[in-house]
């Protein structure tokens, strides 16, 4: 299964890229497992970021939201403006 990962705001800056395509192992079937996989691969900021938000196919998602082949998964910290 392959997904498109997008990083926004400080995550984009910290990782030095706006996103990546990732082939997932069969054990990764939801957002929480995907986040754990990314942390295990060295993206430690995903573990420690306060109030991290996630969306799957542009819909807000929780840790137990399923991830399927071809999905777009976005991670972003809360952003304020003014």
CATH of the domain at 61: 3.10.20.30
**Does a structural domain hold residue 35?**
yes
Residue 54 · residue 35 · CB < 8 Å: yes
pLDDT tens-digit profile of 39-82?
A: 999 999 999 877 899 999 999 999 999 999 999 999 998 775 55
Q: Is residue 82, in this structure, part of any structural domain at all? A: no
**How big is the chain, counted in residues?**
82
What is the domain extent for residue 52? Answer: 2-76
Residue 58 lies in a domain: yes
pLDDT at 68: 97
> Has residue 17 been placed in a domain?
yes
pLDDT of residue 48: 84
In terms of pLDDT, which residue wins out, 38 or 77? 38
Q: Among all chains, which residue has been given the structure tokens 């400080």?
A: 10
* Number of domains the chain contains: 1
Within a domain: 81: no
**72 pairs with which residues across the strands?**
4
Spatial CB neighbours of 76, under 8 Å, sequence gap ≥ 6: 7, 8, 9, 11, 52, 53, 54, 55
């Amino acid at each position: 299964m392959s997904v498109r990962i997008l990083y926004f705001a400080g995550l984009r800056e910290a990782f030095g890229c706006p996103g990546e395509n990732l082939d997932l192992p069969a054990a990764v079937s939801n957002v929480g497992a995907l986040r754990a996989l990314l942390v295990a691969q060295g993206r430690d900021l995903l573990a420690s970021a306060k109030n991290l938000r996630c969306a799957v196919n542009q819909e807000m998602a929780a840790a137990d939201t399923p991830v399927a082949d071809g999905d777009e998964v976005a991670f972003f910290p809360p952003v304020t403006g003014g």
